[in-house]
Amino acid sequence: MTQRVLTTESGAPVADNQNSATAGVGGPILLQDQHLLEKLARFNRERIPERVVHARGSGAYGYFEVTDDVTGFTRADFLSAVGKRTETFIRFSTVADSLGGADAVRDPRGFALKFYTDEGNYDLVGNNTPVFFIKDPIKFPDFIHSQKRDPFTGRQEPDNVWDFWAHAPEATHQVTWLMGDRGIPASYRHMNGYGSHTYQWTNAEGEAFFVKYHFKTNQGVRSLSSEQAAELAGRDGNSHQTDLLQAIERGVHPSWTLYVQVMPAGEAAEYRFNPFDLTKVWPHSDYPLQRVGRLVLDRNPDNVFAEVEQAAFSPNNFVPGIGPSPDKMLQGRLFAYADAHRYRLGVNHTQLPVNAPRTAVVDNYGRDGLHATRNGARHDKNYEPNSYAGPAQTGAALSAPLAIHGWTGTHEAPAHTKDDDFFQAGELYRLMSEDEKDRLVANIAGGLSQVIRDDVIEKNLAHFHAADADYGKRVEEAVRALRED
């Protein structure tokens, strides 16, 4: 085998990669040692800013295969025929901790999926829970600040966590999910994924439907108790990453079945819950699950940094037949996700291999910027319209228009007949077995009992009482017992 030659970044051969150039034997290092300076300067810049949320993640490639006809609801090409396959990339993640955190912690999990379709990339950004803590994006920075490290103590503080939740009663439903058995998945393979938000599908006739995505794991849902998770996190902080990597390497390809709930757009205004409220679910008795296809993961990335850390998912990456809904959290994320990637990776992050379309042709007037690799040919213009046969608009909207009315201003979301912040949390609690309720109460009390201020504790207890009388009573008694010890 011919020995490959080590070179500098400019392609020049490196004579010595073991010893720096010095002024004589044992003398000081010379500034002219270009190879040394280049290595050190590059090393200093190897890391990019980590994600503010979802910093710690794992990824894999796979495919999505359509198993059921959904053309009555959407004209999206990648869903147009039973048996059609589309390459995908998925990134799983924890939400609150930093890049150096452990996998086995009590935290929601990100479930971000990129479809490399023939009509462009479609990104579906979700979690392993069907709901979230808040319903308006203006509260998101404050929520995340309350969950991250305190500026003074440098650690996550129960006082901050529960103080925010005390002032956000709409979080009660998601808190019940998080503190329940599914709050710590046993692995990324053994959890469900949800689009969480409400999206719009539009069919070939222009009819609009609102949909929610449900990816049901075919491995079965498995979770860890707080005690099991603490032991695992101490033994192997990379437990979920290791599990996913090794499963795919040995040919055990994890899969999920995709179902959707479909609501005709005309039914949204009169539905008993606000269908665009991210803190609520649509009961399956109202809108049953309809099978769409299956997601299979069959290939690990070759380089975690290039393909997992630099993977960029933006919910504003739609394809014809799929679009947004009036979900306020989704509307905020349509801007925030892409903007986060422009900050972390640069304005040309979409040209990175993991983010670039596979089969669709990118043809627009974007030019220049950091790391630009696609600047056009000599006679290509960078403005539109032009007289030089440059790309032109189609005039065909990706999705149906949304009707709007009323005055501009800062409005609360419209109330529906059954809207409140606690009913669905109570419904979730009442679905649990006695053992599940015991663990839920213990998990909540373990954190809430550490809060210093009595008024913060009382506000949170009021939320659980409002959700279900037994729920509130048991949490209150458990908190009192822990605080008396």
Question: Which residues are identified as catalytic?
Answer: 54, 127
Cα distances (angstroms) measured from residue 330 to each of 8, 138, 324, 336? 45, 12, 7, 10
Residue linked to tokens 């989704």: 330
Which residue type is seen at 254?
Answer: P
Cα 368 from Cα 373, distance rounded (Å) = 8
Which three-class secondary structure state does DSSP give residue 24?
coil
The answer to whether the CB of 81 falls within 8 A of the CB of 66 is: yes
Cα 111 from Cα 184, distance rounded (Å) = 14
Which conformational region is residue 120 in: left (phi greater than 0), alpha (psi within -120 to 50 degrees), or beta?
left
Long-range contacts for 399-404 (Cβ within 8 Å, ≥24 apart)?
399/200, 399/201, 399/202, 399/208, 399/318, 399/320, 399/321, 399/322, 399/323, 399/324, 400/200, 400/202, 400/206, 400/207, 400/208, 400/265, 400/323, 402/200, 402/324, 402/325, 402/326
Q: Which alpha helices (DSSP H) does 250-327 contain, by range?
A: 304
HSE toward the beta carbon, residue 360, CA cutoff 13 A: 22
CA-closest candidate to residue 65, choices 399, 296, 230, 288: 296
Cα 141 from Cα 11, distance rounded (Å) = 45
Cα 228 from Cα 366, distance rounded (Å) = 50
Q: What is the 3-state secondary structure (H, E, C) of 200-211?
A: EEECCCCCEEEE
Using a 10 angstrom Cβ sphere, with 0-12 exposed, 13-18 middle and 19 or more buried, the burial of residue 360 is: middle
**Contacts of 233 by beta carbon, 8 Å cutoff, 6+ apart:** 102, 103, 104, 105, 239
Neighbours of 318 (CB within 10 A): 22
Residue 20 has which token pair?
Answer: 């720096």
The answer to whether the CB of 86 falls within 8 A of the CB of 117 is: yes
Cα distances (angstroms) measured from residue 395 to each of 122, 320, 382, 385, 399? 20, 12, 20, 14, 12
Q: What is the distance, to the nearest Å, from the Cα of residue 291 to the centroid of all Cα atoms in its chain?
A: 22
Query: Cis ω on the peptide bond leading into residue 28 (within 30° of 0)?
Result: no
